[in-house]
Amino acid sequence: MENNLYIPTAAELVAKGETPEILFWVGCAGSFDERAQRITRDICKILQHVGIKYAILGTEESCTGDPAKRAGNEFVFQMQAMMNIQVLDGYEIKKIVTACPHCFNTIKNEYPSLGGNYEVIHHTQLIQSLIDDGKLKPNDGNEFKGKKITYHDPCYLGRANEVYEAPRKVLETLDADLVELKRCKSNGLCCGAGGAQMFKEPESGNKDINVERIEDVIESKAAIVAAACPFCMTMLRDGIKVKDKEQDIQVLDIAEITVRANGL
């Protein structure tokens, strides 16, 4: 399957006189972070499997500007945003799926007033709609059956955009033993990476935020914590390392879980 993955760029499709049904916005983490790259490829596998005509921007993609905006640099944010809008509009993109809640939030909520109007969904929403349409169905004997799985709400998917159900519905199809963390949904605790924290050392305190969050996961006794954000992924994995629980707890993205459960 790996070798059969065909990942077209928007430029390639346009050269063939085609337009993508949906643009897959990969994001910086999905492009450069080794762990996140695996999730990116899994999302491509899903898109290819269900036969959606999609494309990526490839080297024409650039950061949405989210970390600049959250750090307070509106100039850098708006420069990035306007350049991205030019590229997206150049390919007449109408619908976008993102793998990162930060990209999702920025393009969906902050691009419109700068002239970028697209229908934006997060990959967990795409997967949920594919399951609803019967295009994805976990195998009966999938590896997650009966396993204790919990879900960590990314702030920019949950509280920021009120997407709480889509990722949970995907997990519900697994026939797994689902548990909620004590702080979940609108009361979910941040992993510690938002607001440009991903790119700096934390201020001094008595604990790192991701460690505080992993304690919730440990308390839930889950063997797998599902994530839906590349930054949460990094923070949760680091937290697990600090707690020396690498043998007991796995962090998997909703897309990875879907690919494995469907045997893609």
Partner 1 sequence: MISQLLFAIVLIGAILLFYKNAYKIYQNIRLGKSVNRFDNPSERFKTMLLVAFGQQKMFKRPIPALLHLFVYVGFCIINIEMIEIIIDGLFDTHRVLSFLGDFYNFLIASFEILAFAVLLSCVIFFIRRNVLKLKRLNQPELNNWPRSDANYILITEILLMTAFLIMNAADQKLQVVLPESYHIAGSFPISQYLIGILPESINSLIFIERLAWWFHILGVLAFLNYLPISKHLHIILAFPNTYFSNLNLKGKFENMESVTAEVKAMLDPSLPPPSGDVSRFGVKDVHDLTWKNLLDAYTCTECGRCTSACPANITGKLLSPRKIIMDTRDRVEEVGKNININKTFVDDGKSLLDSYVTREEIWACTSCNACVEQCPVNINPLEIIMGLRQYAIMEESQAPASINNMLGNLENNGAPWKYSQADRANWTQM
Binding site for partner 1 (CB under 8 A): 5, 7, 9, 26, 28, 30-32, 37, 40-41, 56, 58-59, 61-63, 65, 67-76, 78-80, 82-83, 105, 109-110, 113-114, 155-156, 159-162, 186-190, 192-209, 211-213
Sign of CA dihedral 32, 81, 230, 53: negative
CB closer to partner 1, 124 vs 173: 124
Q: Compute the least distance from the CB of residue 230 to partner 1, in Å.
A: 12
Give the bridge partners for 226, in sequence order: 151, 252
CB closer to partner 1, 138 vs 194: 194
**Distance (Å, whole) CA 157 – CA 163:** 5
Could you tell me if 124 and 161 are in contact, meaning their C-beta atoms sit under 8 angstroms apart?
no
Q: Compute the least distance from the CB of residue 145 to partner 1, in Å.
A: 29
CB closer to partner 1, 82 vs 218: 82
Q: Compute the least distance from the CB of residue 261 to partner 1, in Å.
A: 22
Strand order in the sheet with 224-227: 177-179, 148-151, 224-227, 250-253
CB closer to partner 1, 149 vs 189: 189
**Distance (Å, whole) CA 73 – CA 182:** 35
**Distance (Å, whole) CA 208 – CA 150:** 21
* 3-state DSSP of 125-181: HHHHHHHHCCCCCCCCCCCCCCCEEEECCCCCCCCCCCCCHHHHHHHHCCCCEEECC
CB closer to partner 1, 4 vs 206: 206
Q: Compute the least distance from the CB of residue 93 to partner 1, in Å.
A: 17
CB closer to partner 1, 71 vs 223: 71
Q: Compute the least distance from the CB of residue 146 to partner 1, in Å.
A: 32
Residue type, 205: G
Q: Compute the least distance from the CB of residue 195 to partner 1, in Å.
A: 3
CB closer to partner 1, 162 vs 172: 162
Q: Compute the least distance from the CB of residue 198 to partner 1, in Å.
A: 8
